[in-house]
Structure 1
């Protein structure tokens, strides 16, 4: 491996010079030309290490990041990943990766380039959470390219190893904050108002009672089949979900397959609803009005969930972009639903499972809660809900423990 200076004259007689790195990798000779000697020296230093470790990929055999990204998405489609997942990958590639490093050769990527991409995304206004997801996608692109023999190094993984474990996750958590009852999670009093405002019977009563007292995801509610509802045992088996494209498939993960017990009022509501439920080949518990298809998620939110909250008084006043209250033609405040998504009911279910029995909850352990929610890991459950578990050190319990300790001492 060597560096040599190359000098020549242009057709117009101008003197030009460049620096050439001459090296051999896997028995083949390669040349790289640089305008500055310092750039050539830096490249030579990197090449010495890569050639020694067998991790070098010649530039003429390397794809661009965009080309490798297309290969990655094609492989994901072939693997049968859900369309919503593929859509997310496509957005990462087209909107956040290709515009900045899409034309770069994989072999030219360095750890510094990944860090520079993060800085550019942040300057463009991307959130920390989105930047982290984009970096993960870029790492997956490089991993796929490694398997195909198009690049030897995965600089994203190298960057991850150089950072303190969990630092970014903790920073993101601080920015996002913890879920709060009455803000992100409906309070028991609000749930009582919502139940009181429900229709006396019918699909929507059963739908929201199941959502409140089983914690099913919206996709799992839309994909629930009667064959998975055991009314005698009072159990629901989660075996499928319906995605944003109305396509049925397996739950999000292996842990998503689970059995959830139902309280008596939920069972009674489902028994009544089963008699009136439109019959269809899909055997759905909560189908469209004619029973032929799953309900659209947006219809559930706009036609049922938000109106139900407003009817129950679980609402907030609408404000304009300047923070001023919006009023109707009669001067009355315009109200909107307090909780915009169905996931709020899943959060309530988690809090209900966590709360002690003295406080009207089930008092379940974190491990049982993980199983009920279908979380892939206990860490996900704890990261989301650990602050809701009783600490056991409130004033009354401390006083009781203290008195027992002093009593034993005497």
Structure 2
């Protein structure tokens, strides 16, 4: 049997008790089952000793996880670095880093930790640019943590190993980018959900929120919010920032001059955290008349500054919660698109000719309504071919 330091104790039934601080009697003692055999217990004791020794060389608790590092980085850099950079880093943390390695102990970090991040990003179906951004964000945060002696100098392995994983991730996401059938640079009516699909999704949202909020009216309102998204083309955070005074039912417009700041918690009974719109454009989004009853329901009983789609049950991270609701409802009703395709439904059917079931709006009108920075974006995104191969003459 190996030498067992004083801060570790192994019982006859192979249970291990130890102090993560590395000093007997200092801190909270932890208990765990060592294994079924003496060899397994010995192997586990070796790991514990290594973790505690590494933790002692670092200025961080031996049980600290990567989630703690990410939270500390966010707190220290909020309002200090450029807002765009801060948002990009937070997006990487929330979408990929926390889900893949947030629960992992710092002292257990090695090349497999980095591999889990790479696999998570690739599995999300993202493109190479986003993979590179996530990888860079992890390296930046790790470098910052290293200055505080929270992580080891080469915690992910040597430079050669790290570079190999980076190249592997680039290759895999580059391949996905080339073969991605959901490339949004060219979307036709056949690619977007039909109105029947939107209704199915809205009904599921209504069932979920009505049950959790113990209110039929809550369910009806959140179901209406889904249809309003499809009938206005608002982005998720734009919808959640709309207040009653911004809705003009008489003329059929919603003023979009801000969006919910998804990177800040919305504490109950406090002002909504907001951010500028994408591209910094203030616009009037045109409303399909078919969803007027849904907007009337959402506006019922509201004060001018009340949000038309506010959080329920004290939810503070409302943008994430709404996105998760859309995902959960989509899985229930076999919705095969992302929530963003509610916006594409609006863009595609607004620009489509009437004979295709669309609204027949001009591209410049849709560009202004949807807040695209350039007309080219609108034209290249929503493509409609209504010609017939057996017709040669052009009238």
Larger radius of gyration: 1
Instruction: Give the TM-score normalised by the residue count of structure 2.
Output: 0.49
**Which structure: greater strand fraction?**
1
Tell me which of the two structures has the higher relative contact order, counting C-alpha pairs closer than 8 angstroms and 6 or more residues apart: 2
